[in-house]
């Protein structure tokens, strides 16, 4: 999909007609939509809660809709709010891009906020190194990471709610730029009491040991299952957990085994005193992909962020 030819002025004309609010009202709407809390939106905008509430009242009058309804922990958007949110976010982003393009991006001075959608595996292996490098090179900027859902919703990236996503996308949306970032294989983390020192982990022992199976949301839920089924490798499932970091301590207490990505095994085996061993059957490798919207192709800050991530990945495999 080509970049959407939409700006803040088009948004105002499309949704507000003759009752044209100023840009600040659109920013208030966008902040409340993302934060789902008026107080948090006010803090994010550096305004008082009463100022934001007054702006919301003007928006409701202009659009003839409540937009946000009270909820237990904040507010929930109405159908009208959900309908217009992507266009408003895109319009504000194009406006910000126009200002950003007027001056070179300097990571050492920027106060920009970068938001990433990461799958559970990508967050474990990438977030620590990325956070350290980001803080060192862009000390005044802000990095936020949110979990990706079972499927990648392109509206999150097209509307600029997030800058990019990293995970496994079986059928990535065609209107996004998607490329492979790196690949990983599989290893076993084994409790020391389950395997004598120097003993080999053969197929028979692998299939007899109690397994901790990791089944996070998304495509990972079937990835390892399909590979073990394809090879005829059985797992004696003792417990199913939803997070990779839960696997290691559970394996230790259970006296069992877990099949996890090689990078996760490297990170977790030694701290918990587990053995990091080869899977007795070759399960192959799997990709981690990066996805972002084409309208950010020439955004200098976004280019810097992508280069930073690529550099971290390159350093980790050398």
What's the number of domains the chain is made of?
Answer: 2
- Residue 115 covered by a domain: no
pLDDT at position 96? 73
pLDDT at position 15? 54
Domain boundary among 38, 72, 103: 103
Rounded distance between C-alpha atoms, residue 297 and residue 12, angstroms: 26
User: Which distant-in-sequence residues (6+ apart) come within 8 Å of 66 by Cβ?
Assistant: 60, 78
pLDDT at position 249? 97
- Residue 133 covered by a domain: no
Predicted TM-score (pTM) of the model is 0.70
pLDDT at position 318? 52
pLDDT at position 4? 39
Rounded distance between C-alpha atoms, residue 81 and residue 75, angstroms: 12
Instruction: List per-residue pLDDT tens for the chain, 318 residues long.
Output: 334 334 445 555 555 544 455 788 999 999 999 889 999 899 888 899 999 999 999 999 989 999 999 988 889 999 999 999 988 887 887 777 666 655 688 999 999 999 999 988 999 999 999 999 999 999 999 999 998 866 676 666 765 678 999 988 877 777 889 999 999 999 999 999 998 777 889 999 999 999 999 987 655 455 677 788 888 899 999 999 989 999 999 999 999 999 999 999 999 999 999 999 999 999 999 999 999 988 888 889 999 999 999 999 998 865
Measured in degrees and rounded to the nearest 5, phi and psi for residue 82 equal -65, -30
- Residue 148 covered by a domain: no
Spatial CA neighbour of 96 closest among 214, 7, 3: 7
173-202 core/surface letters (b: 16 or more CB in 10 A; e: else): beebbeeebbebebbbbbbeebbeeeeebe
SS3 of 121, please? helix
- Residue 265 covered by a domain: yes
pLDDT at position 216? 75
Domain that holds residue 266: 186-284
Alpha helices in 21-76 (DSSP H): 23-35, 38-45, 49-63
| CATH number of the domain where residue 193 is located | 3.40.190.10
| CATH number of the domain where residue 90 is located | 1.10.10.10
- Residue 267 covered by a domain: yes
Domain boundary among 39, 72, 103: 103
- Residue 310 covered by a domain: no
- Residue 60 covered by a domain: yes
Domain boundary among 103, 132, 163: 103
């Amino acid at each position: 999909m080509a970049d959407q030819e939409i700006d803040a002025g088009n948004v105002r004309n499309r949704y507000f007609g003759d009752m044209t609010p100023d840009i600040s009202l659109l920013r208030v709407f966008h902040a409340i939509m993302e934060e789902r809390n008026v107080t948090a939106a006010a803090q994010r905008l550096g305004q008082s809660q009463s100022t934001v509430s007054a702006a919301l009242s003007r928006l409701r009058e202009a659009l003839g809709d409540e937009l946000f309804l009270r909820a237990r922990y904040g507010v929930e958007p109405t159908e009208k709010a959900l309908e217009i949110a992507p266009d408003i976010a895109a319009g504000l982003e194009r406006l910000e891009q126009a200002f950003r393009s007027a001056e070179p991006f300097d990571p050492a001075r920027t106060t920009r906020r970068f938001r990433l959608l990461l799958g559970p595996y990508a967050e474990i292996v990438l977030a620590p190194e990325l956070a350290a490098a980001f803080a060192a090179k862009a000390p005044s900027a802000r990095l936020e990471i949110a979990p990706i859902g079972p499927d990648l919703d392109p509206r999150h990236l097209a509307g600029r709610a997030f800058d990019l996503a990293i995970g496994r996308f079986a059928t990535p949306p065609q209107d996004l730029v998607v490329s492979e970032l790196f690949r990983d294989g599989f290893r076993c983390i084994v409790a020391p009491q389950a395997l004598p020192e120097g003993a080999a982990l053969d197929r028979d022992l692998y299939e007899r040991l109690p397994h901790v199976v990791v089944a996070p949301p998304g495509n990972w839920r079937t990835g390892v299952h399909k590979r073990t089924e394809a090879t005829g490798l059985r797992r004696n499932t003792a417990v199913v957990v939803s997070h990779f970091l839960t696997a290691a301590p559970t394996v230790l207490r259970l006296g069992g085994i877990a099949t996890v990505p090689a990078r996760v095994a490297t990170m977790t085996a030694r701290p918990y005193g587990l053995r990091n061993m080869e899977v007795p059957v070759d399960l192959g490798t799997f990709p981690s992909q990066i996805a972002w919207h084409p309208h950010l192709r020439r955004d200098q800050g976004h280019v810097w962020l992508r280069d930073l991530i690529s550099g971290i990945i390159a350093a980790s495999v050398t």
